[in-house]
Amino acid sequence: MSQTARPRAAVILAAGKGTRMKSSLPKVMHPVGGRPMVDWSVDLARKAGCSEIVVVAHPSQGLLIEHIASLPGDIPVAFQDPPMGTGHAVRCAADALGGFKGALVVLYGDSPLVPADAIEELFSSLEEGATVGVLGFDTREPGLYGRLITSGHGELEAIIEAREATPEQLLVTLCNSGVMAAGAEDMFRLLEKVTNDNAKGEYYLTDLVGLARAAGKRCQAVRCDEEDLIGCDSKADLAEAEAIFQARCRKQALDGGVTLIAPETVFFSYDTKVEPDVVIEPNVVFGPGVTVRSGAQIRAFSHLEGADVGQFASVGPFARLRPGAVLEQAAFVGNFVEVKNVRMAEGAKASHLSYLGDGEVGAGTNIGAGTIFCNYDGFFKYRTTIGDGAFIGSNSALVAPVNIGDGAYVGSGSVVTKDVEAGALAVARGKQVERKGWATAFREKMMARKAEKKKG
């Protein structure tokens, strides 16, 4: 935003019931790229320099209202009840904006892929003299979309609904996205003149263009890619938006020097960070909050969320990193290992079949197969701390809170409930008892019983 530009605000329309989603979850709370769609719109408003953001919701959308309250920045919620169209929804936000006098953009909570530079261009059209700016897209199949009728100079003359368009107007491929910007005072002044004299009895935001033109004001259309403006009214739309998002993430990763062996099988989240020279094998899923450093390898069928993977570290195959998992340089987590809220220092290894929850593993320490950090007593979580260069034998259970010193050994099959000193050996298992001939006698007895049962 230029230093001379007016202050900016956004109204995000999110009151739609989303009946086509066939879900109890509010439509705009359905995720794309690992976060609710409404969060994409909030983030878009912030990237576009909006100092004020208002979300318009229905009072029945308790989950959405709670979610908005949990977001940083104190975002007010305005209520639309009953819903009476997009123009009515924007008017419902007037009080929450508190007399805001800058530039105002109307966004939609179910459109997660709108780029910030398109909104910047929309605001720029206002700075260049337009009273109303409308975001549009060109499409080969305009269908029932409203058409943006422009002059030879690119000015927007009218928004024509498909059902009201002439045959000539139906040939227009520039369509209305619904995203619109105007000076806040201009927008609310024009909204006062919008009527509901139409088949649905609703107040349409699109009427602002006709009203502004009738008053001799200039309106401007701004173009954007069709994919950017997808709105998600159904699970099919949601899947399409997700596919677009994932395709873009994969291309960005490949262009950034990441090796994706089977790109179409790797799934990213909105905030996934992968540095160059990372190798990602097929069927890997990144949940929110993952960073992977240069030289690391993420092997097939692994799931990572809230994790930080260091340089030259290796994860998987079939590994799960949960929130708080930190693998420092050259740490190794192998197949069927789950790590949650544990820092594994440089060169530490857990090669297979282990659960590491809440703790620290020192540099160069080796965790044997079947090791469990027993971190939960049914009420509270406790930490397991293992020093540098330690060796934890296979099938061990470390009952937290417990500390294993530097260089210590834990014998296989041990249940460790007390701290182990540095350099010590801890063996905590029952004494082995052997009964000579017992297995042979038992086997003969059971075979005879089985044969007798077959005769009967």
Tell me the two tokens of residue 226.
């069709």
DSSP character string of 134-170: EEEEE-S--TTSPEEEE-TTSBEEEEE-GGG--HHHH
Please name the amino acid found at residue 94.
Answer: A
Q: Give bridge partners of residue 137 from the DSSP assignment.
A: 175, 224
Per the listing, tokens 């490949």 go with 254
CA dihedral 240, 242, 248, 251 (to 10 degrees): -100
Question: How many Cα atoms within 13 Å fall on the side-chain side of residue 59?
Answer: 4
DSSP 3-state helix, strand, coil percentages of the chain (rounded to 5)?
Answer: 25, 30, 45
Q: Give bridge partners of residue 409 from the DSSP assignment.
A: 391, 425
Q: 266 with 245: CB under 8 angstroms?
A: no
C-alpha angle 78/219/109, rounded to 5°?
30
Which H/E stretch holds residue 337?
strand 332-344
Residue 257: what are its φ and ψ, rounded to 5°? 90, 15
Active site residues: 352
What Rg value do the Cα atoms of the chain yield, rounded? 31
The DSSP symbol for 358 reads E
Residues 6 or more apart from 138 whose CB is under 8 A from it? 173, 174, 175, 223, 226
CA distance 322 to 153: 55
Q: Tell me the three state secondary structure of residue 406.
A: coil
Residues 6 or more apart from 100 whose CB is under 8 A from it? 7, 9, 52, 184
Q: Give bridge partners of residue 320 from the DSSP assignment.
A: 303, 338
